[in-house]
Amino acid sequence: METEEKKIYTIDDIARELGVSKTTVSRAISGKGRIGQATRDRVLAFIKEHDYRPNVVARGLAQRKTYNIALLMPKDYVATDFLFFKDCMNGICEVASAHDYDIIISMVDGEDVSQIERLEANRKVDGIIVSRAVVSSKIQKYLKNCREPFVLIGPTSDPEIPFVDNKNQEAGKELTSILLMKGMRHLALLGGNESYNVTGSRYQGFLDAHQELGIPVDKNLIFMNADNQLVISDAVSKLYEAGADGIVCMDDVICSMCMSSLREKKIQVPMQMKVASMYDSKNLEYHNPPVTSIKFDTTGLGQMACIKLLEILGENPQEEIKPLNYQVILRESTQ
């Protein structure tokens, strides 16, 4: 009686074959509404036997949901961020699919909001996850006027915006503490752009460690907005002359530039200068020498972002909200 090798059942087919109403079938599947145990079992058995899967799109239309989540990614990003995005996406997809949501990706070109407009107009998603590096204040402002709920990955200064972020301050403190405990007394800091929140958090962690151990911070060894080779090269010369015994870099890119400055100036690492980074990347692992750094749980970050969004969407994610954690990895550069 089947037309093809494998018939796709609808809820109507099932209702007819079982001699019940489709209301009943729907209830057996969703678990909502009262239904007799016997009836439910019959329906469920039939469904299992015939491998019936409800049409998610039709359900979505009736419920005014899509079961899709958009992930905003930057159209262009530097190689260093690759690991971050991959791990993050894995985390997001994992929890999304566990809740039968799918991820629609949208590539955002700089501050161009046209792709976001399109997303909103098409109404194919229930919410948006905005990944780090897409988050400019212009984009944030645009999103707030959107009707779509959203979650940011990365810091935000706007208290109304839900976000998830790494424990930058705690991690920065821990890394710094370890260096201090290893005996360094004149730590320099190469900080990133001060307009980023993450810069502030990491800086604070650096200060916290000094304070806790009662070791003074030498302000002359602190260089913020060190986001290009020239500034860094200059800073490295100065801090070396000022007698620094170690350099804490706020991220892997700064650290790479710092390492090549040191190489250029023939300052030996770790003999003449220790180096550590507050953000890990494969690069640092393979540097010569390998660089001590903090490894964040990026997959976990993606998971948390998705969980948070699902909560906003009214789902009840069963996943435990584990605090995001990190590891300090001590490599040759601080030995």
Partner DNA sequence: CTGAAAGCGCTTACAG
Query: Which residues are at the interface with its own copies (CB under 8 A)?
Result: 53, 55-58, 60-61, 66-68, 71, 75-77, 79, 82-83, 86, 89-90, 93-94, 97, 100, 102-107, 115, 118, 121-124, 228-229, 257, 260, 264, 281-283, 286, 288
Are 12 and 18 a contacting pair, CB within 8 Å? no
By CB under 7 A, tell whether 26 contacts DNA: yes
Report how far residue 204's alpha carbon sits from residue 189's, in angstroms, rounded to the nearest whole number: 11
Which phi and psi (to 5°) does residue 254 adopt?
-55, -40
Contact between 299 and DNA (CB under 7 A)? no
Residue 121 interacting with DNA (CB under 7 A) = no
Any residues with CB less than 8 A from the CB of 156 and at least 6 apart, and which?
Answer: 135, 140, 163, 197
Those residues with Cβ within 8 angstroms of residue 291's Cβ, 6 or more apart along the chain or in another chain: 255, 259, 275, 276, 277, 284, 285, 331, 332, 333
Q: Do 329 and 280 contact (CB within 8 A), yes or no?
A: yes
Taking CB under 7 A as the criterion, the residue among 6, 64, 219, 266 binding DNA is 64
The partner in contact with residue 260, picked from its own copies, DNA, none with C-beta cut-offs of 5 to 8 angstroms by kind, is its own copies
Q: Which is nearer to its own copies, 185 or 263 (CB)?
A: 263
CB of residue 63 vs DNA: minimum separation in angstroms?
5
Tokens 């405990």 belong to 181
Minimal distance, residue 145 CB to DNA, in Å:
21
Q: How far is the CB of 221 from its own copies (least distance, A)?
A: 24
> Tokens at residue 10, please?
């609808």
Q: Measure the CA–CA gap between 132 and 147, rounded to whole angstroms.
A: 21
Q: Does 119 bind DNA (CB under 7 A)?
A: no
Q: Does residue 181 interact with DNA by CB under 7 A?
A: no
Applying CB under 7 A, does 36 fall inside the site for DNA? Answer: yes
Q: What's the min distance (Å) between Cβ of 202 and its own copies?
A: 21
